[in-house]
Structure 1
Amino acid sequence: MRKWLLATLSALVITAGAAVGDPTLARAEWALDKAAAPYKGTEINIIFLDRPGYRAIIKLLPEFEKKTGIKVNYEIVPYENSREKQVLNFSSKGDLTMALVDLVWIGEFAENGWIVPIEKFTSDASITDPGLDLKGFFPLLLDAFGSWGGKVYGLPFDNYSGLLFYNKCMLKDAGFDKPPATWQDLYTTYAPKLTNPEKKQYAFALQSLRGETQSADSFMRVLWPFGGSLLDKTFHSNLMSKESQTGLKFRQDLMKYMPPGVVSYDHVEAVNALAQGQVAMITEWSAFYGTLTDPKTSKLGDCLAVAPEPAGPAGRLPALGGFSLAVASQASPQQQKASWLFIQWATSEDIARAYVEAGGVSGRSSVYEQADIKAKYKFVEPMVASWQKGVPEFRPRFPAWAAISEIVAEVGSKMMLGEVSTEDGAKQIGARMEDILKKEGYYDGKKALRQ
């Protein structure tokens, strides 16, 4: 799977990039305000999440609207409802002109024809910035978040790497001068010294709320580092493998060092637990750095530190997550072009620095090469390092993921609550998951070759 993804990446970037035109073309000949002139007064619509990256782009929106005359209407929706809301809108030919595409939705959105390949727009020089430069994105992000079937559909926008955020003051008080390098170190050496239930202080919190948070941020997070995986190469369940079971059992054991009720923690609760000094460490997305450094929401101050996610027996395999912005096929031709102008602007190198400074995480590599950015934002170096060798298949990106995710979330929550063992839970997930994949045609040799 990974080899196919990486093999096609170069080809699709070259194909899409070639359509943009001569990269040496003087940008003075193209300007956003001039390109947007025919679309002045056009309204475009999108769903945003209540997360730092979206608050950052909202902060910068007046600049785009003033320059282009295009009105960007957005609705802030909880992540757990965002896919369903978009699917209903696209299925009923609603008013969304853009799609916010999680990396695990790209297959579903593309194969249903809800989003448009960017080649439709890059072939039009009047609406495509000659400085678009797809090679300026981290290849991993462009591949995992925006590409499907050899075509680019969306541009990386809200980009995540799993990182270890920790309270270095709490660690120092417990006798540690550096964070745990491995999950086993965290469990065996660090966690016992950092947990004091009487003071309501705990070593670690793993966001595990039922839904995509449980399936992606909790369940899947303990598979890869331990050498396990959801599926094997034949698209059958791999959850009963020794490696997968080791990871899932490790999660159960680690719970004794987590706050009571952690199974109901979403990202907000996990981040807040660290921010308020209730836990010493969390593994969270890079996008929450802004929340943890904001004195209005965090007590950490200089005690905040960031490191790569701990390594497991299979090595350091951090979580990968994020979204792309894509043009919706249901939009009118005028709205599609206006939406494409917005997507280019929101993901451009021109605003990458301002976006990062406002709390976002850009998918552009050049901004993280700036010395002052690396010095100011502690998350940059571990995040960039993880994007050099991350795994796009951390979560399956095929259309069947949405249905499988619900099963993993349901049974994964029961595992953590002790209502089902890791073995019985794995068998339940495997049987139900394979039933879905069989109905979807993954065992007839056709779909498997496409992933």
Structure 2
Amino acid sequence: MRATSHSTPAILVAALAGSFYALAAGSAWAWNLEEASAPYKGQTITIACEAYAPCNAFKKFIPEFEQRTGIKVTIEAGDLGQIQQQTLTDALTGTQVYDLVQMTNLVIGAWGEHGFAEPMQPFLDNAALHDPGYKLEDMSQGVIASTGTYKGVLYGIPYMLNSPFGIYRKDLAADPAEQAAFKAKYGYDTPFNGDKWIEVDDWQKWRDVAEFYNRKPGEKVAGQTLDHELWGTAAAFKRHITLFYDYERVLLGMGGVMVDENRVPQFDKPVAKQALEYLLDWRQFSPPSYKEYTWDEEYADFCTGKLFSTPGWADSTAMEEKPEECPVVSGKIGYFLHPGPHTVADGSSWVIPSKSQHKEAAFLLAQFLGTYDVQSRCHPLGCLSFRKDVLANPELDDDGATVLFRKLLSDPNLVYPRPALPEWVELQPLLLDELSAAGADQQDADTALAKLQAAFTEILQP
């Protein structure tokens, strides 16, 4: 861990003091945040995070951290793609704006490869800084491996657990007449039966349900006449990071991957075309604005009752379940893991930029937000806890996303660890170019995938 010259004496004093008290008091000595943060009182740290539920939940606890430590925290929240670009630009130019940033798997490789991120282990090994009650073994190993680790080095500590899943309107699906009409049309009982948690074993069944619940104003659904369109699902084909994740979730669920363990692209495999054509087929059951659609629109239209089902994320369902936020659908949402063998081990980590002038203060904040005390209080507010002890709380037995995450944590075979390639920074825009062009009917699936296979191969297999 590198420290700025002006703070080195303070760090040494804190470390020596910690050692002295530990020797003098033995097991009676207890770490506390107020003492650990004393050398950094008066510092201001700037953090960057996506303007969704976890970041919003953390904002409620940061004043507590500021009061206890005397460290001031400035928060920049925005679109995830924008945050990734801003923080990477900051790292590239060395302008030292950010002290703590939310990091995803798609950029952690580049940060680690180019030395933009400060290794976390020295902070964890520093008795003056590390709360002994904060233990990585208590947390999701998928998040740590996927979003915090590169080439065996720990560069990030968990921010949130947020693997993708599907959601649907269980209140509409529970109607017996709708269920009977579905069986009459498709010849099988719908798995979208009105239960809060359902098992969907085939992507075709989600497609059939999307078609079935695609209704126009004046038509009825569950005995009610619609005064607006109800779309069966949402295909998001804007050139936005949403498209990367939505294509990947279908591809993994159908048994494919974008890049294998040997860094060989897999877009020339039949499953890659099957997954893309599936998403393209969804367009006919989606809002006509699908070419400008992202997860923001998925959230907004589901929230206002315009979608029967949609690809889901826990950071959006945390808001959709709030009556004051989404009164039309709150309490009416059903949840399901994707069909097929795998879903991605997703989430985010906190990373400290190597150019930060306030690394120790930044670590203390990330650690504070990850403690059991804070996580147990903020998980119900939407911070999407990565702590196994928090997720195991019986009081969360009726929480939609929590139950799905328990299933993922209990069966590691379900979880796919996307490789943390440094090249994702280059590859991601290429994928968005080609898939969004296919979504706009500017090229067919074969052309899009052939271009991706060639471009990925050139970058990954030079």
Which of 240, 250, 258 is the equivalent residue of 1:211? Answer: 240
How far apart are 1:79 and its partner, in Å?
1.3
Secondary structure of the equivalent of 1:29? coil
How far apart are 1:69 and its partner, in Å?
0.7
Residues 68-217 of structure 1: matches in 2 within 5 Å? 68-94=69-95, 95-173=97-175, 174-175=178-179, 177-178=193-194, 179=198, 180-188=200-208, 190-198=209-217, 199-215=228-244, 217=245
Which of 235, 245, 251 is the equivalent residue of 1:223? Answer: 251
Larger Rg: 2
- Identify the residue that residue 401 of structure 2 maps to in structure 1: 379
Change (3 A) 1:355 1:206: farther
Aligned-partner Cα distance in 1 for 2:354–2:48: 15
Instruction: Report if aligned partners of 2:168, 2:335 keep a CA contact under 8 Å in 1.
Output: yes
How far apart are 1:324 and its partner, in Å?
0.4
Aligned-partner Cα distance in 2 for 1:156–1:408: 27
- Identify the residue that residue 417 of structure 2 maps to in structure 1: 393
Aligned-partner Cα distance in 2 for 1:280–1:382: 20
How far apart are 1:26 and its partner, in Å?
5.4
Aligned-partner Cα distance in 1 for 2:216–2:345: 32
Instruction: Report if aligned partners of 1:141, 1:363 keep a CA contact under 8 Å in 2.
Output: yes
How far apart are 1:153 and its partner, in Å?
1.3
Residues 334-349 of structure 1: matches in 2 within 5 Å? 335-349=358-372
Give the 4+ runs in structure 1 shifted more than 3 A.
25-28, 178-181, 390-394
Aligned-partner Cα distance in 1 for 2:28–2:444: 60
How far apart are 1:33 and its partner, in Å?
0.8
TM-score, normalised via structure 2 length? 0.83
- Identify the residue that residue 352 of structure 1 maps to in structure 2: 375
Aligned-partner Cα distance in 2 for 1:246–1:88: 36
Paired-residue identity, %:
21
Aligned-partner Cα distance in 2 for 1:275–1:51: 14
Aligned-partner Cα distance in 2 for 1:61–1:162: 27
How far apart are 1:28 and its partner, in Å?
5.6
Structure 1 gaps of 5+ residues are 1-20, 440-451
How far apart are 1:214 and its partner, in Å?
1.3
RMSD: 1.9
How far apart are 1:392 and its partner, in Å?
4.2
How far apart are 1:162 and its partner, in Å?
1.0
Secondary structure of the equivalent of 2:232? strand
How far apart are 1:197 and its partner, in Å?
3.7
Secondary structure of the equivalent of 1:164? strand
Aligned-partner Cα distance in 2 for 1:104–1:369: 29
Aligned-partner Cα distance in 2 for 1:350–1:295: 26
Query: In structure 1, what residue type is equivalent to 2:205?
Result: D
Aligned-partner Cα distance in 1 for 2:345–2:235: 16
Residues 304-383 of structure 1: matches in 2 within 5 Å? 304-309=333-338, 311-312=339-340, 315=341, 317-332=342-357, 335-375=358-398, 377-383=399-405
Q: How many residues align?
A: 406
Query: In structure 2, what residue type is equivalent to 1:318?
Result: T
Aligned-partner Cα distance in 2 for 1:229–1:357: 33
Instruction: Report if aligned partners of 1:187, 1:254 keep a CA contact under 8 Å in 2.
Output: yes
TM-score, normalised via structure 1 length? 0.85
- Identify the residue that residue 432 of structure 2 maps to in structure 1: 409
1:42 maps onto 2:43 in alignment: yes
